[in-house]
Amino acid sequence: MTISPSITITNNHQSMQVKTKNTENLLIPQSLQPGDLLRVVAPSGALRELEAFQNGVNIWRSRGYRVEVIPEIEDRWGYLAGKDENRRSHLAAAWQDPECRGILCARGGFGTTRILEEWTWMLQNQETDNINIQSPKWLIGFSDITALLWSLYKVGICGVHAPVMTTLAGEPAWSIQRLFDIVEGKSIQPLKGKGWGGGTVSGKLLPANLTVATHLLGTPMQPELDGAILAIEDVGEAPYRIDRMLTQWRMSGALGKIAGVAIGSFTNCEPPANIPSFSVAEVLRDRLSDLNIPVVSDLPFGHQAPNASLPVGMVATLDADKGILTVNS
């Protein structure tokens, strides 16, 4: 589908123009407030952590939100949370529901790219031939949900790289509050890590799971990377795999467009026992330090708590001398 550079955004509260390649015109969904309806979908892997999932639902409900879980939340098709057409239809139903103000993803895993093969966030008006996005709303998740978040950003809408329903209850109180602060329109505190030096840069923030983002390179879901701050994390990937992915970013030219790199946690990424290897830290330093751009590592987001929420596409500032990532308000 061809997406025009200017898209009319319409919901119950506002109408505005969004230029998809211009971060100054990023559409931020209306702030949530208690009483709003949120829908829980499972667009990725099959749900296994039932108790943790329910604890996540309870946190949202305890804040006064109406949370509706799809009846098929425990569906399975191999390692997926149901067949592609079913997961796609659940996401579409939530997205097109004018009463729904946000979409909460049950868990990550794998599967979102499969439903994106035949997906559009856009709706064609047959009478006017305009391409519209109806009722833009918050999309919340991380890990495999990176693909949905980046594809949503590609049409000019901000989502949140944040804990999914199965991980939310394991977050510290400040991390949980940070998620609610973002979706409720409040300011959030800067994140502190370890600066590698190289000065300060500002740009659109693109948080992502490194593995998922790598597999989006060269696809229609890859957003514009020029001048972006890439925020990466991963889990369960041996150092040589991290090396292979970052080398792909380098050879494709994608990494050369990035203005700065924010590094979160790389969980369970230790090298196999008794096999010669670099550490993940050594790989990251080797593949990123010669780019001559600001880099900050050890930031508190990723697959291990804390997983600090990060808005997708908003302008952020990365200070690699002080080791600070700030989302600009």
| Range 221-241 average pLDDT | 97
For residues 294-304, average pLDDT: 97
Q: Which residue ranges form the domains of the chain, and what is each CATH number?
A: 6-183 (3.40.50.10740), 191-327 (3.50.30.60)
Each residue's pLDDT tens digit, 152-194: 999 999 999 999 999 999 999 999 999 999 999 999 999 999 9
Residues taking part in catalysis? 143, 233, 303
Token couple for 261: 């790199």
Spatial distance between the Cα atoms of 41 and 111, rounded to a whole number of angstroms: 13
Question: Which pairs from 182-189 meet CB under 8 Å and 24+ separation?
Answer: 182/309, 182/311, 183/31, 183/32, 183/102, 183/138, 183/140, 184/31, 184/32, 184/33, 185/31, 187/329, 188/309, 188/327
Q: State pLDDT tens for residues 268-287.
A: 999 988 899 999 999 999 99
- What pTM was estimated for this model as a whole? 0.90
What element of type H or E holds 264?
strand 260-267
Residue 20, pLDDT score: 32
